[in-house]
Amino acid sequence: MLLLSEILIQEFDLATFDQLLEKVRERAHDGEMFFRIDVKPQFSDTPEDWEERLEAAFYSR
Protein backbone atom coordinates (compact mmCIF):
# COMPACT_ATOMS: atom_id res chain seq x y z
CA MET A 1 0.00 0.00 0.00
CA LEU A 2 1.27 3.40 -0.99
CA LEU A 3 0.91 6.10 1.66
CA LEU A 4 0.91 9.77 0.74
CA SER A 5 3.21 10.48 3.69
CA GLU A 6 5.68 7.95 2.25
CA ILE A 7 5.87 9.86 -1.03
CA LEU A 8 6.33 13.17 0.77
CA ILE A 9 9.17 11.76 2.89
CA GLN A 10 10.93 9.99 0.03
CA GLU A 11 10.47 12.83 -2.45
CA PHE A 12 11.43 15.65 -0.08
CA ASP A 13 12.43 17.93 -2.95
CA LEU A 14 8.85 18.36 -4.24
CA ALA A 15 7.88 22.02 -4.28
CA THR A 16 4.38 22.07 -5.81
CA PHE A 17 1.15 20.13 -5.75
CA ASP A 18 1.49 19.43 -9.48
CA GLN A 19 4.86 17.77 -8.86
CA LEU A 20 3.20 15.61 -6.21
CA LEU A 21 0.46 14.61 -8.66
CA GLU A 22 3.12 13.47 -11.12
CA LYS A 23 4.86 11.36 -8.46
CA VAL A 24 1.54 9.75 -7.53
CA ARG A 25 0.95 8.91 -11.21
CA GLU A 26 4.45 7.45 -11.50
CA ARG A 27 3.96 5.23 -8.45
CA ALA A 28 0.64 3.97 -9.78
CA HIS A 29 2.23 3.25 -13.16
CA ASP A 30 5.07 1.38 -11.42
CA GLY A 31 2.56 -1.12 -10.02
CA GLU A 32 1.28 0.17 -6.70
CA MET A 33 -2.20 -1.29 -6.20
CA PHE A 34 -3.61 0.73 -3.30
CA PHE A 35 -3.28 4.34 -2.21
CA ARG A 36 -4.03 5.84 1.18
CA ILE A 37 -4.16 9.53 1.95
CA ASP A 38 -2.91 9.84 5.52
CA VAL A 39 -1.73 13.48 5.59
CA LYS A 40 -2.56 16.76 3.88
CA PRO A 41 0.16 18.10 1.58
CA GLN A 42 1.44 21.45 2.82
CA PHE A 43 2.23 23.10 -0.51
CA SER A 44 1.14 26.70 -1.00
CA ASP A 45 -0.70 25.69 -4.19
CA THR A 46 -2.63 22.75 -2.69
CA PRO A 47 -6.21 23.13 -4.00
CA GLU A 48 -9.37 22.65 -1.95
CA ASP A 49 -10.19 19.45 -3.85
CA TRP A 50 -6.72 18.00 -3.24
CA GLU A 51 -7.94 14.58 -2.06
CA GLU A 52 -10.05 13.99 -5.15
CA ARG A 53 -7.24 15.12 -7.44
CA LEU A 54 -4.72 12.79 -5.79
CA GLU A 55 -7.09 9.83 -6.02
CA ALA A 56 -7.85 10.62 -9.65
CA ALA A 57 -4.13 10.80 -10.44
CA PHE A 58 -3.53 7.42 -8.82
CA TYR A 59 -6.47 5.56 -10.31
CA SER A 60 -6.25 7.01 -13.83
CA ARG A 61 -3.43 4.66 -14.82
Cβ neighbours of residue 36 closer than 8 Å, sequence gap 6 or more? 1, 2, 3, 4
In tens, the pLDDT along 25-47 reads: 999 999 999 999 999 999 999 99
Q: For residue 16, give the 3-state DSSP assignment.
A: coil
Q: How much is the pTM? A: 0.93
Average pLDDT value over all residues in the chain: 96
| C-alpha–C-alpha distance, residues 30 and 25, integer Å | 9
User: What residue segments make up the domains of the chain, in order of their start?
Assistant: 2-59
